[in-house]
Amino acid sequence: MQEKSFGFYDLVETFPKPGCAICTLLEADTQRLLDNILYERVTDPPTQTRFRNSRGLCSEHAHQLTTFSHALGIAILYEAVLDKTLKALEQAEKEAGSPGGWARWWNAAAANDPLVAALEPEESCMICAAQDDHESLYISILTDHITDDRLETAYRASDGLCRAHFQMSLRAARDAAQARLLLDIQRDIWGRLRGELREFARKYDFKHVDEKMGAEGDSWRRAALHFSGARSIFGSRRGKR
Ligand SMILES: [Zn+2]
Ligand SMILES: [Zn+2]
């Protein structure tokens, strides 16, 4: 079992906030990482190499990057990406430009051609990769310490984990007691949410229109946004999970 780390206290403090605590922590980590890259590492050679190798960031994180006001940093990073890509295309074009080369290129299976392959990232988006690492860490801290009163109480009183993070937590459980407790907590939370959705639908009916809508009034929105996890965490993972 791991020692109680910052991650443990981060989870205890984040569970009371709206939404999935692991999504929320990953979103904050992502903002910090993008900030760190832009303001401290744009001319750092290993960062530039990593950025070039992944051909920049995935679509989701590139959009997030452009919300930062450090335009020059973004320009420097993408100048490096375009430089590498164009050089690779020029090299591939030179090779194809030999006598008969273009005809051979056209006839070849395009996917295996060096010109086409030059567009393929050699590494994954560095923000997605960092999210994967941090996610594994939070999941293992949660499962390892789920029997700690502070963590259990905070989780029970929360909106619960999103579906994917709950599934990952169950997979990471080391014994039946951990899995049972996780299941018990999450089932109660989802049960309450289902109750709110039913109550919302009942009051929405014209026969009950005189009844005032309570906290269940926005349960449809909470359910839709919460169940699938935060957009900046899962929006980029097309087909991954
Ligand atoms: Zn989540
Ligand atoms: Zn990404």
Q: Which pLDDT score is estimated for 112?
A: 60
Stretch 57-77: mean pLDDT:
93
In the predicted structure, residue 73 carries a pLDDT above the cut 90: yes
Spatial separation of the C-alpha atoms in residues 108 and 227, rounded to whole Å: 45
Contacts of 155 (CB under 8 A, 6+ apart): 15, 21, 142, 146, 185
Is 67's pLDDT higher than 80? Answer: yes
pLDDT score at 238: 52
Q: Give me ligand 2 centre to Cα 177, in Å.
A: 35
pLDDT (average), residues 56-83? 93
pLDDT for res 1: 47
pLDDT average, residue stretch 68-93: 90
- The pTM score is 0.86
pLDDT of residue 3: 54
Structure tokens at 182: 């996780």
Centre of ligand 2 to C-alpha 202, Å, is 41
pLDDT tens-digit series, residues 137-189: 999 999 999 999 999 999 999 999 999 999 999 999 999 999 999 999 999 99
Domain boundaries, the chain: 6-234
Looking at all shown ligands, the one closest to residue 58's CA atom is 2
CB hemisphere CA count around 146 (13 angstroms):
26
Please tell me the distance between residue 238's alpha carbon and the centre of ligand 2 in angstroms.
11
If we measure between CA atoms, which residue out of 23, 51, 7, 10 comes closest to residue 160? 23
Q: Please tell me the number of the ligand nearest to residue 163's CA.
A: 1
Q: Tell me, what amino acid is at 27?
A: E
Ligand 2 mean position, distance from CA 223 (Å): 25
| Alpha-carbon separation of residue 43 from 32, 37, 78, 103, 135 (angstroms) | 18, 9, 12, 41, 28
pLDDT digit string (tens) for 102-138?
666 666 555 566 677 778 888 999 999 999 999 999 9
Q: Which ligand is nearest to the CA of 235?
A: 2
Which residues hold their Cβ within 5 A of ligand 2, which is an ion? 58, 61, 125, 127-128, 236
**Helix/strand/coil percentages in the chain, nearest 5:** 70, 0, 30
Comparing C-alpha atoms, which of 26, 43, 33 is closest to residue 65? Answer: 33
From the list 23, 34, 40, 26, the residue with the least C-alpha distance to 62 is 34
- Say which ligand is closest to the CA of 134: 1
> Which residue from 79, 215, 227 is spatially nearest to 165, judged by alpha carbons?
227
Q: Which residue type does 162 have?
A: C
